[in-house]
A and B are shown apart, each in its own frame.
Chain A
Amino acid sequence: MSDRIEKTIELKAPVSRIWRALTDHQEFGAWFRVRMEGPFVPGQVARGRITYPGYEHIQWEAVVQKMEPERLFSFTWHPYAIDPKQDYSSEPSTLVEFSLRKIPAGTLLRVVESGFDKLPANRRHEAFRMNDEGWSIQVKNIAEHIEQTPA
């Protein structure tokens, strides 16, 4: 059982183009549906306003972690932090990592969102080793695990 979300997508455009779409704040805003106040800078808070219809009153905020050109872009944020009156700073934040790799067709983009339980990755992995299908764990899965490893 893992607490991470992982997505991989093939994009028919060169790595440099994808890097720009991810890290240029205006381009990012266009597809992520946020009107950004300014550029992304590692170590700094990036703010904007959601442009998704019905959610325009919501402020979008992330802390930029890494910007390794054409390789890795990452930020931490509070997923689903959509109540403008609420201070989410004490809630757990997750880490979002975009990694890029050149492939013949263009670019392989991998997105990983992790840290839903705020535990070091190695311990989490150990604790959740019984299945790796995300949190799609159910009581049934646990029961199957028991049958395989009687106490």
Chain B
Amino acid sequence: MQSISNKRRLSALKARASVFAALGDETRLSVLVKLSNGQPQSIARLTAGTDLSRQAVTKHLRVLANVGVVRSLRVGRESLFKLEPQPIEDLRDYLDQVSRQWDDALARLKAHVEG
């Protein structure tokens, strides 16, 4: 049991690190912003109105898809891309958890120096 939960925790840690890294790029964030209405969109649509090439957008979509933030769907002959909010929500949960740990640690520090 222990090793399974450790493994799961470890893979979660790796996944988080890569989601953070994938999101840490302005172009990719702007792609996510376009996808955030929940509607699947084509590469052409995502490229329109930007000074990015189709290839560049495709490359960024691939990075986002690799960490599970974006999913591609096949509709007829076209590939559409859709936002998957779960990994981003997981990141938020993770940071909330780290944040609570700091609250606890600082409360102990306070008791330590004021006590």
Q: Across the interface, which residues of B come within 8 angstroms of A103, CB to CB? A: none
A145 touches B33 (CB 8 A): yes
Instruction: Give the number of chain B interface residues (Cβ < 8 Å).
Output: 44
In the complex, whether A12 has a CB less than 8 A from a CB of chain B is yes
The secondary structure that dominates the B interface is: helix
Cβ contact of A127, chosen from B26, B38, B48, cutoff 8 A: B26
**B91 nearest CB across to chain A (Å):** 5
Contact B38 A139 (CB under 8 A): yes
- Binary per-residue interface labels of chain B (42-59) against chain A in the complex, 1 for a CB within 8 Å, 0 otherwise: 000000110000000000
Residues in chain A near residue B24, CB distance under 8 A:
3, 117-119, 123-124, 127
Asked whether B88 is an interface residue with its Cβ less than 8 Å from the other chain, the reply is yes
Q: Given A31-B108, A91-B13, list of 11 further CB < 8 A pairs?
A: A13-B114, A27-B112, A85-B6, A91-B14, A91-B17, A118-B21, A127-B26, A128-B29, A138-B92, A146-B34, A151-B48
B109 contacts partner chain A, Cβ-Cβ < 8 Å: yes
Given contacts A127-B29, A138-B92, contact A111 B106 (CB under 8 A): yes
Please report B residues at the A interface, Cβ cutoff 8 Å.
6, 9-10, 13-14, 16-17, 20-21, 23-26, 29, 32-34, 36-38, 48-49, 83, 85, 88-89, 91-92, 94-96, 98-99, 102-103, 105-106, 108-114
Chain B residues with CB under 8 A of A11: 109-110, 113-114
Whether B34 and A31, one on each chain, are in contact in the complex, defined by CB atoms closer than 8 angstroms, is: no
Q: Is A136 interfacial (CB-CB < 8 Å)?
A: yes
**B19 shortest CB reach to chain A, Å:** 9
